[in-house]
Amino acid sequence: MKKLIIIIFSLCAPILLFADSNNQKSTGSIEGTVIDRSTYQPLAGVNIIISGLPLGAASDLDGKFLVEKVPIGTYRVEALMIGYQTEVKTEIVVSTNRVTMVNFSLKASPLELGDEIVVTADYFEKDIETPISAKRLTPQEIRSSAGSAEDIFRIIQSMPGVSGAGGKSANLAVRGGSPDENRTLLDNVEIYNPLHFARLGTSMGIISIVNPSLLQSVDFLTGGFPAKYGDKMSSVFEMQLKEGNRTNFNTDINANLGGFGVLLDGPIPGNGTMVFSVRRGFFDVLTSMMGKPVAPRFWDLVGKATYNPAANHKLSLIGFYYLDDIERSGTMAEAGSDIGRKYDYAKRDDYGAAVGINWRYLFSKKGYMQTTAAFTGNGWKSWIGTENNKELNGEDVKENEFHFKNEITYKFSDVFELKGGLFYKTIDSDHYTWNEADTTRTGHVFPTDTVNYYPDLTYKAGSFLQTTLRPFKRLAINAGLRYDYFDFTKESKISPRLGLTYRLTDKTTLNAAYGHFYQTPAAYLAALDEANLNLLSSRSIHYIAGVEHLLSPDTKVSVEVYHKELDDVFVDSDTSKVLTNAGSGYARGIEFYIQKKMSKNLVGSVAYTYSISKRKDADHLSEYYFEFDRPHNFTLVGGYKLSDKWQIGLKFQYASGSSYTPVVDVVQIPPNSGEWYAVEGEKNSERYPDFHKLDIRVDRRFNFSKWTLSVYLDLWNAYYRDNVISYRYDVDNNGVVTKETTYDFPLLTILGISAQF
């Protein structure tokens, strides 16, 4: 790896020596749209101000604006209009001969008789229907976060209430829940595996399937989310793709540890725009260079085309496709795996795809309709065996779904807003698995098994209604009701939701939320055994309260407490593949968060969470710590802009070790047979050592007369901490127990390069 970095820098050095020498007159453009945050109506006459420059614009009747001949550099851009709160965008980078897209959604702040006109900056975008447990990230925050390699999921791991599975995994465990309890959306289209090399129900996953350069914003809801979201118990992760610019074509060519990618955006015929990304992973090249026996490869393609056929209509077509391929030979020792012990060959091919269309119709000045129709498909094939017989165990899985959603929002007045919707989803699943007989480390024998699961087409359907009331100036009430029908389980569920926001002062807000959240069993769970067809939905009840205080326009501190009550939780068995709804449990905690947006060249955040997550597998059994329970989580993130060309950042993380079940003894089965097996202690009664690491990042921009080069160096685990991910126990023929340790990444240097034309 060091040789590779030296070679790249050697090739780039002659170019970089001449960078910035001829760019004094280089300029770019800033283009965008301004809309009302509640009604999506375009706002005309909004003043766009670029700090430090005598340049600006006013939005036209369609809410669009364009500022040309902006000198290259990094700026703060503001949108101002009487009757709306001023919105601020920081770290807006203008590059040579490029169009930078900056979109605003202004929050109405109606004046009452006698009110003094005070212009305040809104650094923290927030929707009134999500008053609590909601965070929004901008592209600028995604681009420069240390320890993330520009991956959005690794950035989210720095948020309060979130614990990751270590640097080798980008998955999210939210408020004591498992990764498969999180809903992921891309432009209102559901994504089931948002990470490469992940599968439903697992905690792995290396990198997002969405190029971060495509993102306009990311909303992350960790609890108490409104009635329009359903079928998940822990969180909602919603990514919004940016639109292409209307003026000319931009091209990005980038490479880092994750892979090589190309991104295009610009106008297309028919008054439309497009943005498109394709990436190819480098992991197989790197593992080959390091002489490793595994060769992971991935591809992903993501695109969006947007049209405005009329002033009050917007159509957007989105699509994505990803392909993962891993082949491994040699030792198959996997943490916690029994089936991999005696095999020396494995191969898996995963894929996912979606195509969807969104239609937004502004049917009046106070209301709009959003309709989404989408097809999604995902599947995988895998084989585990020996070099002589590679298909001793395997699976062939396919899941296809069609989604239709329609939502209508109408703002009757500044006091009363109503949103309602219908949704329908068909599900088509095929599962074929085969396994030869195997004995676990505790001596249980699984016989040869073949599963053919080809159920009839099933569906989910329902509706929701939610309202926002502002009975007086400082109070907002968000009430909602959701109805779900699951054909697979023959269940009808009613989910009440309630959120309250009270502005104690102009800087201090009190928030609270309550809600019921259901999660239906997935097809991959039902396929394990015929008895699993009797599974019902699990339920989580959320109770949340919090306070927010603005220390300054760009700095906010918040404290939240939460309690989640769980019942009908899915429980698996150590001796069969049958699942039940016998489980229950709870998760509770308190979160502290200080966030400073970029201003005066400084950005940063401090997050601390104390939490407990416990489960019971049946009423008569004892409680145990859930595998994703990590009582203490602390993250410090900071960045400082030395100039328009240089920026440094750091991230320090500390977390309690997660729980695991230890091996406490050995036993012969049958007695005196000479066959030794492990005896496990109490479930999840031990913890791995505490996790902590420091990541450091340095960014440098080089401006040329016709293009821009951005380079960053991301140093993970800078002080080389040996962070334990897991232990694996083996018992030999003499009854001796050995414990092998799997560690997170050691010191890892990531070089990223992006050329922008």
Residue 1 pLDDT > 50: no
Per-residue pLDDT at 113: 45
Q: Using alpha carbons, list the distances in angstroms from residue 528 to 396, 449, 573.
A: 13, 10, 11
Contact 206, 196 (CB under 8 A): yes
d(CA 509, CA 549): 6
Q: 55: buried, middle or exposed (CB in 10 Å: 19+, 13-18, 0-12)?
A: middle
d(CA 435, CA 310): 57
Q: What is the pLDDT of residues 467-495, one digit of tens each?
A: 999 998 899 999 999 999 999 889 999 99
Q: Using alpha carbons, list the distances in angstroms from residue 578 to 527, 528, 642.
A: 10, 7, 58
Per-residue pLDDT at 526: 83
Q: Using alpha carbons, list the distances in angstroms from residue 257 to 1, 91, 149, 197, 611.
A: 10, 25, 8, 15, 33
Looking at per-residue confidence, does 455 or 374 come out higher? Answer: 374
* Tokens matching residue 618: 């049946």
Residue 111 pLDDT > 70: no
Per-residue pLDDT at 671: 83
What 3-state DSSP class applies to 697?
strand
Q: What is the pLDDT of residues 590-637, one digit of tens each?
A: 999 999 988 888 899 999 999 999 999 999 999 999 999 999 999 999
- Residue 698 neighbours by CB distance under 10 Å: 15
SS3 of the chain: helix, strand, coil, percent, to 5 = 5, 55, 35
d(CA 597, CA 337): 44
Question: Please, what's the b/e burial string for 368-403 (b: 16 or more CB within 10 A of its CB; e: otherwise)?
Answer: bebbbbbebbbbbebbbbeeeebebbbbebbbbbbb
d(CA 656, CA 651): 17
Residue 670 pLDDT > 70: yes
Question: Which domains, from first to last, does the chain contain?
Answer: 2-122 (2.60.40.1120), 152-756 (2.40.170.20)
Cite the DSSP H helix spans in 69-147: 139-143
- Residue 291 neighbours by CB distance under 10 Å: 6
| Amino acid identity for residue 661 in this structure | T
Contact 547, 511 (CB under 8 A): yes
Contact 605, 594 (CB under 8 A): yes
How confident is the model over 97-114, as a mean pLDDT? Answer: 79
Cite the DSSP H helix spans in 112-240: 139-143, 152-156
Q: What is the pLDDT of residues 699-734, one digit of tens each?
A: 999 988 889 999 999 999 999 999 998 898 888 888
Per-residue pLDDT at 525: 83
Looking from the CA of 458 toward its CB, the CA atoms found within 13 Å total: 20
Dihedrals phi, psi of 283, to nearest 5 degrees: -60, -40
Residue with token string 């990042």: 697
Average confidence score pLDDT of the chain? 87
* Residue closest to 611 by CA, chosen among 560, 662, 566, 660: 560
Residue 17 pLDDT > 50: no
Looking at per-residue confidence, does 378 or 256 come out higher? Answer: 378
Which of 1-5, 108-112, 712-716 has the highest average model confidence (pLDDT)? 712-716
**Chain centre to alpha carbon of residue 525:** 23
Give the β-pairing of 632-641 and 659-660. Answer: unpaired
Q: Which residues pair with 546 in a beta bridge?
A: 511, 560
